[in-house]
Amino acid sequence: MTSEAVGAPRAASIPRAFGIDKRYLAPILVTIVLIAGQVSFAFLESWSRTFLAIATAIGVEMLLGRLFAGQWPHLASAYVSGISVGMLVRSPVFWPYALCSAISIVSKYVIRVDGRHIWNPSNLGIVAMLVLASDTVASLSVQWGNTLLPMVTVWCFGIVILRSLGRLHITLTYVASFVAFAALRSAVTGHAFLAEVAPITGPMYQLFIFFMITDPKTTVHGTRAQCLVAFLVAAVEAALRLLQFVHAPYYALFAVGPAANLIEIYVKRRAAARHGG
């Protein structure tokens, strides 16, 4: 889901906490999610489908990076996109895994404003599949077994890694907002508060809150702005949930993320114009 590698310099700072290139942190975390989920509960549709998604994402990234950006791209981003597609897409057939990965990666090269791509790639890919191929595709919707251990494991690694990347505030803002909106929805619908909170305990949300909404390349800059966007994603999601959209979080990020990016780009252009004048 992250897309930081597009056009990024090869060399990067090495967080002291891990002693490795920080661009590898997201791939490490998403791999932990995959392994925790699969070893504990075999939550993948199949290994082969997930491998197909990863291979497609990496293959398309290499091809497009070489052909259209003139360099071999760093593959961490494509790996994360592929593995996310491999986990989040649910389909009894193979082609949606490859197609979703391809749409995700190609979108990064096609939909660009001022050199930035404004949609989170895998969010766009999954929304495209849910809308255009709903007869064949659903999203990961069930939980990981009946213990908290896998979720706690992911949260422990996630917090450490996001903190080192300086993006934990986005996740925490979203989670706090989600819980607050769950209480609001509970008051509106009369449904149990726990029922409204329930979705965030599932594996899909762990991917959503640790990878999609924190993607460095498709989030706005500045801590306050990032927190505001995370809150707005939760707010739009709450509204969509009240309208009974099953895939509300994907749609909310799909709508709010690019809008926030475009506003930021517009503000930057104005500022640049003022400075230029």
Instruction: Give contact residues for other proteins (rule: CB under 8 A).
Output: 41-42, 45-46, 64, 67-70, 90-93, 95-96, 99, 102-103, 106-107, 109-110, 112, 115, 128-130, 132-138, 141-148, 151, 189-192, 194-199, 201-202, 204, 241, 244-247
For other proteins, the closer of residues 57 and 161 by Cβ is 57
Q: Report the alpha-carbon distance of residue 253 to residue 261 in Å, rounded.
A: 12
Is the CB of residue 41 less than 8 Å from the CB of residue 119?
A: no
3-class secondary structure, 116: strand
Q: Output the six-digit token pair for 203.
A: 């594996």
For other proteins, the closer of residues 28 and 197 by Cβ is 197
Least Cβ distance, residue 98 to other proteins (angstroms): 10
Is the CB of residue 105 less than 8 Å from the CB of residue 60?
A: yes
Is the CB of residue 105 less than 8 Å from the CB of residue 235?
A: no
For other proteins, the closer of residues 26 and 64 by Cβ is 64
Least Cβ distance, residue 130 to other proteins (angstroms): 6
Q: Which candidate, 218, 213, 206, 212, places its Cα nearest to that of 140?
A: 206
Sequence-separated (6 or more) residues with CB below 8 Å from residue 138: 90, 91, 130
Least Cβ distance, residue 227 to other proteins (angstroms): 26
- Distance in angstroms between the alpha carbons of the first and the last residue of the chain: 38
Q: How many CA atoms lie within 13 A of 16 on its CB side?
A: 0
For other proteins, the closer of residues 93 and 263 by Cβ is 93
Q: Report the alpha-carbon distance of residue 67 to residue 82 in Å, rounded.
A: 20
For other proteins, the closer of residues 135 and 275 by Cβ is 135
Is the CB of residue 56 less than 8 Å from the CB of residue 102?
A: yes
For other proteins, the closer of residues 14 and 194 by Cβ is 194
Least Cβ distance, residue 171 to other proteins (angstroms): 18
Least Cβ distance, residue 194 to other proteins (angstroms): 5
Least Cβ distance, residue 77 to other proteins (angstroms): 16
